[in-house]
Amino acid sequence: MADEIAIKVDHLRKNFKLPHQRETSIKSALINFRKWSRKYQTQKALNNVTFEIKKGEFFGIVGRNGSGKSTLLKMLAGIYPPDKGTININGKLTPFIELGVGFNQELTGKENVFLNGALLGFSRKEMRAIYDDIVEFAEIEEFMDQKLKNYSSGMQVRLAFSIAIRAKSDILLIDEVLAVGDAAFQTKCMDYFNELKAAGQTVVFVSHDRGSLEKFCDQAILIDKGVIIARGETKSVLNHYDRVVMKQLETKDEERRDAAPKNEAVSITNLKLTDQSGNEIRDAVPFGTRLTTTFYVKFKQPVEDPIIGITLWRDGVGSPIYATNTWVDGQSTAGAKKGKVYEYVVTLPEQLNTGKYFIEPAVANKEATYYYERITRAKSFLIMGSDNLYSIVMPSKGAQLRDV
């Protein structure tokens, strides 16, 4: 293997045998043995996976849940053996893929530090030397003699992270660390990643958080259903990823629309999302695009002063991001007679930050006590490519810093 290669994975395959009824007792094993027909389903977790990671690379593995990316990471870590193919590792690899492995709730924080340290290969003497630094970094000095079960989850993560970053190895494996912890902790993680990147550390990073992937990874692969479907520069891989996600979303949207009960009076049709030049948006748009959404409302029966409106939702956020309707804008809908068609056009705010959004058009009665028609997630789209990922609304660069 060439010297500049850190990890070389060649035609890797992994299948999991999932028994229909898990064969965990001798009785069932005996019965099945006699029948000679062990019934199990083979789940192809990884198939024909080949890639190389160069030394000093920050390498991303992207994929939806259940795509096989964590299986791949576990195989790199040596936790699962391959069914076929080879993994060549050039250098020392972190043996863990998760923070706080082996943490025991019944032990004190201090005892857990030593136990976790031992799992990473540190002797008690070595741990004593770095113990104070670990505790200081985790900011939990006063809790170290308490049992771990009395810690908040944030404290546990901070402690685990502080120990993990002490592990010295040539290649780091990191799986979704950023999914936990508060904003302050995530900033610490980011700082740590920046340091790693600056130091030229080889890192394999598995995530579906496109923000951090885009920020840190030079190269990436996209895994879907156990095979690599895209590889190369992180940006292009992520674009590919968006398309995979959107395809899934669209199918779901259609299913939802088909499943919605039909009402007799009003129908919403022709919902479109377009950019400033009138091109229809299929899935993803770059940040800063001026988006306009349009839909028709057709009345099959007369309705007295209906309210037509739209709500914009963001994935994972419980309250609307943006909402407006004919009533708040003081627009008259008195002409909603049988056969009448309205077109409703709304321009969305341009400061929407990177993320996944849903459009929900609706028609309600005059008093807004019920909906004639409402389509949740009538259209989903992705905004991508902004450089500040801290908030939903992208701040304008108008903030000023002055000497006082």
Partner 1 sequence: MYKHIFSKNNRVLLSELVRTDFKLRYQGSVLGYAWSLLRPLLIFVILYVVFVKFLKLGNGIPHYPVYLLFGIVLWNFFNEMTVMSLGSIVGRGDLIRKIRIPRWIIVISSSLSALINLFLNLLVVSVFMIVNHISLTSSAAWLPLILLEIYIFALGLSFFLSAAFVKFRDLNYIWEVTMQALFYLTPVIYPLSRITNLKLQKLLLLNPVGQAIQDARYVIVTKQTTIIYHVFANIWYMLIPFVIVVAVLIVGTLYFRKESSHFAENI
The contact set with partner 1 (CB under 8 A) reads 16, 23-27, 29, 74, 77-81, 95-98, 101-102, 104, 106-107, 111, 114-115, 117-119, 121-124
Smallest gap from Cβ 77 to partner 1, in A, equals 5
How many whole angstroms separate alpha carbon 176 and alpha carbon 196? 16
Q: Say how many residues make up the chain.
A: 404
**Residue with Cβ nearer partner 1 (74 or 243):** 74
How many whole angstroms separate alpha carbon 389 and alpha carbon 183? 12
Smallest gap from Cβ 17 to partner 1, in A, equals 9
Instruction: Tell me the pairing of strands 219-224 and 58-63.
Output: parallel
Strand, helix or coil for residue 238: helix
**Residue with Cβ nearer partner 1 (95 or 154):** 95
Smallest gap from Cβ 49 to partner 1, in A, equals 17
Q: Please give the full DSSP string across 40-57, using - where no structure is assigned.
A: EEEEEEEEEEEEEEETT-
Q: Give me 45's structure tokens.
A: 């977790």
**Residue with Cβ nearer partner 1 (94 or 289):** 94
Smallest gap from Cβ 101 to partner 1, in A, equals 4
In terms of Cα–Cα distance, which of 345, 346, 374 is closest to 268? 374
Residue 95 burial (C-beta neighbours within 10 Å; 0-12, 13-18, 19+): middle
How many whole angstroms separate alpha carbon 386 and alpha carbon 308? 32
**Residue with Cβ nearer partner 1 (82 or 154):** 82
**Residue with Cβ nearer partner 1 (114 or 381):** 114
Residue the block writes with tokens 């069932």: 28
**Residue with Cβ nearer partner 1 (30 or 184):** 30
Strand, helix or coil for residue 208: coil
**Residue with Cβ nearer partner 1 (104 or 153):** 104
Strand, helix or coil for residue 146: coil
104, 109, 115, 118 alpha-carbon torsion, rounded to 10°: 140
How many whole angstroms separate alpha carbon 277 and alpha carbon 273? 11
For 170, which DSSP code? Answer: S
Q: Are 159 and 151 in contact (CB under 8 A)?
A: yes
Q: What is the 3-state secondary structure (H, E, C) of 268-305?
A: EEEEEEECCCCCECCCEEECCCCCEEEEEEEECCCCCC
Smallest gap from Cβ 391 to partner 1, in A, equals 33
Smallest gap from Cβ 79 to partner 1, in A, equals 5
**Residue with Cβ nearer partner 1 (160 or 245):** 160
Smallest gap from Cβ 33 to partner 1, in A, equals 12
Smallest gap from Cβ 121 to partner 1, in A, equals 4
Smallest gap from Cβ 308 to partner 1, in A, equals 53
Q: Are 355 and 315 in contact (CB under 8 A)?
A: yes
Q: Are 8 and 88 in contact (CB under 8 A)?
A: yes
**Residue with Cβ nearer partner 1 (169 or 365):** 169
